[in-house]
């Protein structure tokens, strides 16, 4: 038996970041992870491999559609799927090995195996039991299931299976027009697969600014994705290697079906808390399966904390990382804090979509007086030169104080551009503060400044 200040269960972005910060703050730290590699879902079968495939297929799209216009002539590249998978696997391996290196550098013990909590203060990994003053649960989430649909990861897939298909399917039905469905749907559409997205609601990307969602749907439709909205999937049957997806249109209850090579189920994720012994340890769950925590990530059991996808809040790697860092500070006797009002969300389609803070819909619901500053990337020279003039930046500011309340971007590098607005919001900035900040020319970030100017006396290039 060994003894630690902190044992973290789960080596994803929440857990490994928490471990590094704990070690940096002088705590004797161990992390339990049963996978062969560190990094959790995000690095192994989520964010990183999907970004590799998105990048590769974006390059292909550029070669097919834009190279000739730029005077780059010659044969378009053809797809070597095996090599593209090898490139993706290499991206994953480089990143997971990087975390292993950081563990060694920070003298963090990796307890290899699956952990459980027989009682507060103890963690069992395989046959060994370890003691810890503090235990952190960072076990993440898993795909949620859909009645009538059984996943086999061959024909009926979750994101994990969709990232590792043996060949490029000719047709794919995606159930759910959320982040996973649109990112992976984009990948396969760019590879020539016929992609149909079936979504229960009447709009894609629930919770997103409605104008951005509409614009994204229009652009993705132009890229070849087909959308069937307002359709509740009833079940999927697999026969002779084909899948039939049955759905019911909500407006008139009519039923229809689609046949495809594969089906991707992307209808959300649920907290992963199985086999941890939470009940025995006295850790309470909320009705929707998340671990109940207080404002300092403490669960209902003494000395046991939880962070990331396993607790309430958006299921995002960076939210988990922030919680991991804040909790480490708390465990080291400092103040730790996460500002949940300023957590960006990004969809890595082309164009990218990024948002932070309130949407117009939310502000209306709250009855809040606000103003809108909007600027189209058509007015941004740099974006146009890159064939990415579609999309816009929209900043929402308080009608009286001019304080920024939210921002929504669809366009080139939206996932990077959003962060200057995040920083501005952290500092309680007004739209005018952004508008008065010099932005280098020619950059896409000028569109952010123009949107801020549009909250006041008006954008220059509109």
CB of residue 422 to ligand NAI, shortest distance in Å: 14
439 classed as catalytic: no
Tell me whether residue 266 or residue 396 sits nearer to ligand NAI (CB atom): 266
Tell me whether residue 142 or residue 194 sits nearer to ligand NAI (CB atom): 142
Tell me whether residue 402 or residue 416 sits nearer to ligand NAI (CB atom): 416
Q: For residues 285 and 310, what is the distance between their CA atoms, to the nearest angstrom? A: 10
CB of residue 448 to ligand NAI, shortest distance in Å: 20
CB of residue 289 to ligand NAI, shortest distance in Å: 14
Starting at the edge strand found earlier in the chain, the sheet holding 255-260 runs: 231-239, 242-249, 255-260
Name the residue with tokens 């249109």. 249
Torsion angle, alpha carbons of 394, 396, 397, 399, to 10:
110
Using only the alpha carbons of the chain, give its radius of gyration.
23
SS3 27: coil
Tell me whether residue 165 or residue 301 sits nearer to ligand NAI (CB atom): 165
Give the interface with ligand NAI as residue ranges (CB under 6 A): 146, 175-181, 183, 198-201, 206, 232-233, 266-269, 315-316, 346-348
Which positions ≥6 away from 240 have C-beta within 8 Å? none
Tell me whether residue 49 or residue 389 sits nearer to ligand NAI (CB atom): 49
Say which of 65, 296, 337, 441 is annotated catalytic: 441
CB of residue 444 to ligand NAI, shortest distance in Å: 19
Name the residue with tokens 């900040």. 437
Q: For residues 91 and 73, what is the distance between their CA atoms, to the nearest angstrom? A: 29
Q: For residues 189 and 429, what is the distance between their CA atoms, to the nearest angstrom? A: 40
Decide: residue 83, CB within 10 A, 0-12 exposed, 13-18 middle, 19+ buried.
exposed
CB of residue 258 to ligand NAI, shortest distance in Å: 12
Active-site positions read: 441
């Amino acid at each position: 038996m060994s003894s630690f200040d902190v044992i973290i269960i789960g080596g994803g972005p929440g857990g490994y970041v928490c471990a590094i910060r704990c070690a940096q703050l002088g705590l004797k730290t161990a992390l339990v992870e049963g996978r062969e590699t560190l990094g959790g879902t995000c690095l192994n079968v989520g964010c990183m491999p999907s970004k590799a495939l998105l990048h590769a297929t974006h390059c292909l799209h550029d070669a097919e559609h834009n190279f000739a216009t730029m005077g780059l002539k010659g044969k378009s590249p053809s797809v070597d799927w095996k090599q593209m998978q090898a490139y993706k696997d290499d991206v994953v391996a480089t990143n997971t090995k990087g975390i292993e290196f950081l563990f060694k550098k920070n003298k963090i013990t990796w307890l290899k195996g699956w952990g459980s909590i027989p009682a507060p203060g103890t963690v069992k990994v395989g046959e060994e039991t370890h003691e810890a003053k503090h235990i952190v649960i960072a076990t993440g989430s898993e795909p949620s299931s859909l009645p009538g649909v059984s996943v086999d990861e061959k024909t009926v897939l979750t994101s994990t299976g969709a990232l590792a298909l043996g060949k490029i399917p000719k047709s794919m039905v995606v159930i759910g027009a959320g982040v996973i469905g649109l990112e992976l749907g984009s990948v396969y559409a760019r590879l020539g697969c016929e992609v149909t997205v079936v979504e229960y609601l009447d709009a894609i990307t629930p919770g997103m600014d409605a104008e951005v969602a509409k614009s994204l749907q229009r652009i993705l439709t132009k890229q070849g994705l087909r959308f069937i909205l307002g359709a509740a999937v009833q079940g999927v049957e697999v026969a002779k290697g084909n899948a039939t997806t049955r759905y019911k249109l909500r407006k008139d209850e009519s039923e229809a079906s689609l046949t495809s090579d594969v089906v991707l189920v992307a209808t959300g994720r649920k907290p992963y808390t199985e086999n941890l012994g939470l009940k025995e340890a006295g850790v309470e769950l909320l009705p929707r399966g998340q671990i109940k925590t207080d404002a300092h990530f403490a669960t209902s059991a003494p000395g046991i904390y939880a962070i990331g996808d396993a607790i309430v809040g958006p299921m995002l790697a960076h939210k988990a990382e922030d919680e991991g860092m804040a909790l480490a500070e708390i465990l080291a006797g400092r103040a730790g804090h996460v500002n949940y009002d300023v957590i960006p969300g990004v969809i890595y389609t082309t164009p990218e979509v990024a948002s932070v803070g309130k949407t117009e819909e939310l502000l209306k619901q709250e009855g809040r007086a606000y103003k809108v500053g909007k600027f189209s990337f058509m007015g941004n020279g740099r974006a146009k030169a890159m064939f990415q003039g579609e999309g816009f930046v929209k900043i929402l500011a308080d009608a009286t104080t001019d304080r920024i309340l939210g921002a929504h971007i669809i366009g080139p590098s939206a996932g990077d551009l959003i962060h200057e607005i995040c920083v501005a919001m952290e500092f309680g900035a007004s739209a005018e503060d952004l508008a008065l900040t010099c932005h280098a020319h020619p950059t896409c970030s000028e569109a952010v400044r123009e949107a801020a100017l549009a909250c006041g006396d008006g954008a220059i290039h509109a």
